[in-house]
Amino acid sequence: MAVALHHDDDHDHGLAHDLQVMASMVERRRALQWFAGAGTAALIAGCSGGSATSDGTTVVTGSTATPTPTTTVTPTPTSSATASGSCIADPSETNGPYPADGTNTASGATSNALTVSGILRSDIRSSFISSTTVAGGVRVDITLTVVDVNSACAPLVGYAVYVWHCDRQGNYSLYTAAAESYLRGVQVTDSNGQVTFTTIFPGCYSGRWPHIHFEVFSSLSAATGGRYAVLVSQLALPSATCATVFADTATYPSSQTNFAAITLSSDNVFGDNTSAQIAAMTPAMSGSTTAGYIATATIGIAR
Domains, the chain: 14-301 (2.60.130.10)
CA distance 150 to 59: 10
The overall average pLDDT reported for the chain is: 81
pLDDT, average across residues 118-124: 98
Q: Which residues pair with 232 in a beta bridge?
A: 215
List pLDDT tens digits, range 131-170: 999 999 999 999 999 999 999 999 999 999 999 999 999 9
First to last CA, the chain: 43
pLDDT at residue 58, as a whole number:
35
* Alpha-carbon distances of 229 from 28, 53, 224, 271, 278, rounded to whole Å: 27, 28, 9, 23, 21
pLDDT, average across residues 67-86: 41
CA distance 123 to 144: 14
Percent share of the chain, pLDDT over 70? 72
Q: Is 272 helix (H, G, I), strand (E, B) or coil?
A: helix
Cis before 75? omega within 30: yes
pLDDT at residue 86, as a whole number:
81
What single-letter amino acid sits at 7?
A: H
Q: Is 123 helix (H, G, I), strand (E, B) or coil?
A: strand
CA distance 194 to 156: 8
List pLDDT tens digits, range 2-50: 434 444 444 444 444 444 544 454 444 444 343 344 443 333 333 333 3
Percent share of the chain, pLDDT over 90? 71
pLDDT, average across residues 67-90: 51
CA distance 261 to 201: 19
Q: Which residues pair with 144 in a beta bridge?
A: 195, 297
pLDDT, average across residues 119-131: 97
pLDDT at residue 227, as a whole number:
97
Residue 101 has pLDDT above 90, yes or no: yes
Residue 123 has pLDDT above 70, yes or no: yes
CA distance 300 to 303: 9
Cβ proximity of 5 and 207 under 8 Å: no
Beta strands in the chain (DSSP E): 50-52, 58-61, 86-87, 139-148, 154-155, 160-164, 184-188, 194-200, 211-217, 231-236, 284-288, 292-301
